[in-house]
Structures are given as C-alpha cells and as structure tokens.
Structure 1
Amino acid sequence: MSENPLDSVRKERQITVTAADLPLCCPLPDEPVALLHPRVYLDPVKSGKAVCPYCSREFLFTGEPPKGHH
C-alpha cells in the first residue's frame, strides 16, 4: 500500500518559524505543492507574522531576525 502524499501536509493553522526557516514559502518545502496550491514566498520577519493568501495559514516569526533583513 502506498503512502498518501497529503499525510506530509502540516495540519496546524498557525506555524511558528525562525530565521532558520527562511526563505519561507507555503506550501512548506516538504509538502506536495502539486496537491495543494501554487508556491508563494512570505516574509514573516517585518511584522512578526505572515498569512498565506491561498490557504490562510499563519506563520509566526520568533527569535532574532537574520542579519541584513529589512
């Protein structure tokens, strides 16, 4: 029996991210983009959060911003 590719999709509506997760895109790199929505890059650093315009997941930034990020 094959694994369902949607099993790798995170179910949380809010996802905490750090500088190590940048550049941030939704769907996340390990999620099957072909089965979800077009990949969009988000900047959660400036305001502390970013919301995906396709699926409305919120990405909350914690920690120190990366050097040189404006």
Structure 2
Amino acid sequence: MNQKNIPAVELEAKDLPAYCPNPAMSLWSSHPRVFLDFDHDGNARCPYCGTQYHVAPGAMGHH
C-alpha cells in the first residue's frame, strides 16, 4: 500500500505529548517508542514506520 493513500492520524490536545507507536496500533507492528517533534503547521512523521501525524487546529499552544 502506498503511504500517500494513508491519512494522517489527527491528534487533539489530550493526545499531547504524542508518541509512536500510538495506542491504536497493533502489537505486531510495534517499534521503540519515540516522541514526535511537530513542525509549525502541526505535522510530524514517525522516523521508524513513517506514520503521519497532524495536530488538530487549535490543539497546539502558540509560543
């Protein structure tokens, strides 16, 4: 399956700080837990599995 067809996992404020693998992922597809570093647009990608994450608008505090 092409990763371009997989939608990003959308996160809310309650999900932060975010990490991958996320609780919804199957145990068989596990990898070491890594905390995600989001860009200014609220996007992040897991360095292990490539899962895309996006923080819902308004969920991230502004610095």
TM-score by length of 2: 0.66
Read off the aligned partner of 1:49 and give its amino acid letter.
N
Cα root mean square deviation, aligned: 2.6
Measure the CA separation in 2 of the matches of 1:25 and 1:62.
15
Long gaps (5+) in structure 1: 1-11
**Larger-Rg structure:** 1
TM-score by length of 1: 0.60
- Structure 1 stretches of 4+ moved >6 Å: none
In structure 2, the partner of 1:8 is none
Q: How far is the alpha carbon of 1:47 from its aligned partner?
A: 2.8
Measure the CA separation in 1 of the matches of 2:39 and 2:56.
8
Q: Aligned pair count?
A: 58
Task: Check if 1:21 corresponds to 2:44.
Answer: no
Long gaps (5+) in structure 2: 1-5
Is the 8 Å Cα contact of residues 45 and 61 (structure 1) preserved in structure 2? no
Show the 5 A alignment for 1:1-70.
14-29=8-23, 31=25, 36-44=30-38, 46-67=40-61, 70=63
Measure the CA separation in 2 of the matches of 1:58 and 1:30.
14
Identity within the alignment, %: 36
